[in-house]
Amino acid sequence: MRLIHDTRLLFWRKLLEALRSPAWIVIGISTPLLYLALFMTLLDRLAGSPGFASGDVIDVFVPGILCLMAFGSGTGAGWIVISELESGVLERLRVTPTNRFALLMGAVLRDVVMMIVPALAVIAVVIPFGYDPHLLGILALLALLCLITAATSAISNALGLSLREIGTLAAIVTGVNLPLTLLSGVLLPMSLAPQWMRALAHLNPLYYAVEASRDLAAGTIGSSTVGQGFIVMIGLTGVVLWWCTRVYQKAVA
């Protein structure tokens, strides 16, 4: 009960802080819409190609963009942690009996909520343009997106606590983001890639989530691809949360 109480209070505090910066909400919604408007139109000629077998590019592109949003929503958490370190917020929390796992989950749940709202907005916007989401598939997809955001948010939090320097964190996040996203097939299906790139993609956890998201968006809930995606992301999220909790326990001892 104490864990739930602490997590709820810390989540609400983090959420209120985020809502005081509406610019992030606007950017969170406008960025994926720009991808849809400016990038998806370039893919029309690929309709019918491997990875676009349905003939409709939007059915392949939208789930990928949603995964990109989920991944990006958690990567900025480390900057906030470093800011709290510098301002003394975590120093004050150190002398309280607050559960250390709750400290982590308050920030993680904030990022999850801040991802879900823009994701629903994107889905609503693309429906009039021919996107036909499957209800149960979309619900399962949202659960998968929450796992992606939770894992990336926890990692970013732990890196922020460990590095304690914005420049170093920015270099690591920027250096890792590009290969992870490109090798996951968020923009273009990996079926279009050469064999060596497909082999590398299978080492990327985000790849399995993206492949699963496309099946879920199409309503293919019981496929082996969906099972692999959830197994990989649940396992990764569990390991990451365990590791990040230990980082918090040492940093806020």
Which bin fits 6, alpha (ψ -120 to 50), beta or left (φ > 0)? alpha
Helix axes 22-38, 100-126, angle to 10 degrees: 40
- CA gap 93, 127 in Å, rounded: 45
Domain count, the chain: 1
- CA gap 35, 181 in Å, rounded: 14
- CA gap 225, 215 in Å, rounded: 7
- Give the pLDDT of the chain (253 residues) as one tens digit per residue: 677 888 888 888 888 877 777 776 777 777 777 877 777 777 666 666 666 655 567 788 889 899 999 998 888 888 888 888 888 777 777 677 777 788 888 889 999 998 998 899 888 888 887 788 888 989 999 999 999 999 999 999 989 888 888 888 888 988 888 889 889 988 888 877 889 998 999 999 999 999 999 889 888 888 899 999 999 999 999 999 999 988 888 876 6
Which residue segment(s) compose the domain that 238 sits in? 2-251
- CA gap 167, 139 in Å, rounded: 37
Helix (H, G, I), strand (E, B) or coil at 1: coil
